[in-house]
Amino acid sequence: MINVETNKENICVNKIVGQKKDFIFVEGDVIVPDVKPDILNTVSTTGNAFIYKKEITDGKIKLEGSIDAYIIYLADDDTGSTRGINTSINFSQILNIENCTSDMSIDESVEIKTIECNVLNGRKINVKVGIELGATVYSNENVEIITGITNSINVQSLITPLQITSLVGEGNSKTYAKDNISIDEVDNLAEILKVDVNIINKDTKISYNKVLAKGDAEVKIMYLTEDNRIKSVTNNIQLMGFVDIPNIKDDNMCDMKYKVKNVLIKPNSTEEHSIYVEIEIELVCRAYQNVDIELIEDLYSPVENLNFTQKNIKTMIGKNNTQSICSVKERVNIPQVQNNQICDVNVKPVIKETNIITNRIIYSGEIELTFLMQGNSNRMETANYNMPFNFNVDVDGVNTNSTVNTEIEVLVQNFVVMPDSSVDANVDLKFSVDISRATNINLIDEITSDDSICDTTYSMIVYFVKPGDTLWKIAKKFKSTVEDIMKVNEIENENKIYPGEQIFIPKYVCTRKEITA
């Protein structure tokens, strides 16, 4: 046996080993600090969830994190003043994912689905948070794909053009967004009532084996002044960081994840009328390239006995990313707005249904709005409203077999109270849609040849086409070639042959002849 020399191309297959989502409740009791008044009832409870540690072992993913909860309540005092409590609740959860091992990588997520407070007594509150934890486990495999044969005679190859998405590399790093956020000089800060953090204006740039990640940490803080006024301030803090990925090129695709790990908010001890903010962010990047290959699905030689093995791999194809803006406008009637001042609106887009047709993704969902308002007596109250949306995103190549991952970023949120106390709501959503498709391909491997070849004389046989026949199958069966069969039978389109049709097949007659060195 002689090893056949081949041309090969290396790709790195980044495949999903497993995915898991789990919904859990996290609970904790909060004791009201001695310096704060008793609780009459809660007005609003919000929170930010973080995962600060992840660990992968055989068949298991362990996620550890915390929830920073912000509770606004009415005090049980003569004035019914508004006060706030901040607390942190830790959690730990194990997700079982079959076939995952410690050398694989994880893409983890956490999202608050529900959050509620129960006043146990005037000095104690129970906080119950429903969170959805998610984990996707990836493995990387370097694969050699045979794209051509160099030292065999008259090899016939069944070739399919294919674009495979190959992993260039992956990496992660940490960065921080830090700033002192100024408040009005007339405001003497009493306590922080509520904090919202979102990463917006995300952008990446590739340069010198590094991926530069830029963006803004949008920080919205609601606070209480010493004279019992409720105020808010919003500020964008620039962030920047680098992720090292060797051999990355300018035209590669980058999946960059911005993961908030911790948020520190406190009054600035050295500067009056300002709040110190420090946000820890993990940058996780995977870089891909689409590689065009000529995949050899089958081969043979009319004048040489070739042998080969095959292996099946699962790989990603057709990776693409697109972004599109959805503007949602509606005049909202909220009875509680009348005679009240809107202090804050929490905006949460939720996709209810996703339908995929050829080259288009159809989304339907709601924007959950939570209005937090203050009346003349400084009492706080909330109101909820859901704005429906329907939005289509055109994506070349997407179909029902595609894997679609969608992230929504709130770009604009404007709420204007009209003279009739209705609210003009204007929300712009940025849809970032990543598509790909998993496919199984058979790769030819380890091609060898017998140590003999055939002379090139041939005979002619008559054959009647059977159901399921193709010219390739017929040519391989009789050691002929597709080109010769088409030429002899004056066939113009190799895909148009029909059962029962008579064709002539030029068949090589082999006379064994030893190969000389």
Contacts of 135 (CB under 8 A, 6+ apart): 19, 20, 54, 61, 63, 95, 97, 106, 107, 108, 109
Mean residue pLDDT of the chain comes to: 90
**pLDDT by residue (tens digit) across 7-42?**
888 889 888 889 999 999 999 999 999 999 999 999
Contacts of 186 (CB under 8 A, 6+ apart): none
Split at pLDDT 50, 70, 90, the class of 146 is confident
The larger pLDDT score, comparing residue 2 to residue 373, is at: 373
For residues 252 and 160, the answer to whether their CB atoms sit within 8 Å is no
Interval 99-113 mean pLDDT: 93
| Predicted confidence (pLDDT) at residue 454 exceeds the cutoff of 60 | no
pLDDT of 452 reads 58
Question: From start to end of 268-379, where are the E strands?
Answer: 274-300, 304-332, 341-357, 360-374
| Predicted confidence (pLDDT) at residue 132 exceeds the cutoff of 80 | yes
In the chain, % of residues over pLDDT 90: 62
Measured between its terminal Cα atoms, the distance across the chain in Å is 14
- Confidence (pTM): 0.86
| Predicted confidence (pLDDT) at residue 517 exceeds the cutoff of 50 | no
For residues 406 and 375, the answer to whether their CB atoms sit within 8 Å is no
**pLDDT by residue (tens digit) across 59-79?**
999 999 999 999 999 998 877
Token code pair at residue 465: 């086409």
| Predicted confidence (pLDDT) at residue 457 exceeds the cutoff of 90 | no
**pLDDT by residue (tens digit) across 224-257?**
998 888 889 999 999 999 999 999 999 999 999 9
Split at pLDDT 50, 70, 90, the class of 307 is confident
| Predicted confidence (pLDDT) at residue 456 exceeds the cutoff of 90 | no
pLDDT of 515 reads 46
**pLDDT by residue (tens digit) across 180-227?**
999 999 999 999 999 999 999 999 999 889 999 999 999 999 999 988
| Predicted confidence (pLDDT) at residue 453 exceeds the cutoff of 60 | no
| Predicted confidence (pLDDT) at residue 152 exceeds the cutoff of 70 | no
pLDDT of 511 reads 52
Question: From start to end of 122-226, where are the E strands?
Answer: 124-149, 156-182, 189-207, 210-225
Domains, the chain, in order of start with CATH, read 16-141 (no CATH), 153-302 (no CATH), 312-451 (no CATH), 454-514 (3.10.350.10)
Q: State how far the Cα of 394 lies from the Cα of 406, in Å rounded to an integer.
A: 13
What are the DSSP calls for 32-93, one per residue? PPTTSPPEEEEEEEEEEEEEEEEEEETTEEEEEEEEEEEEEEEESSSS--EEEEEEEEEEEE
> Which among 409, 404, 382, 381 has a CA at the least distance from the CA of 393?
404
pLDDT of 39 reads 93
**pLDDT by residue (tens digit) across 407-441?**
999 999 999 998 888 899 999 999 999 999 888 88
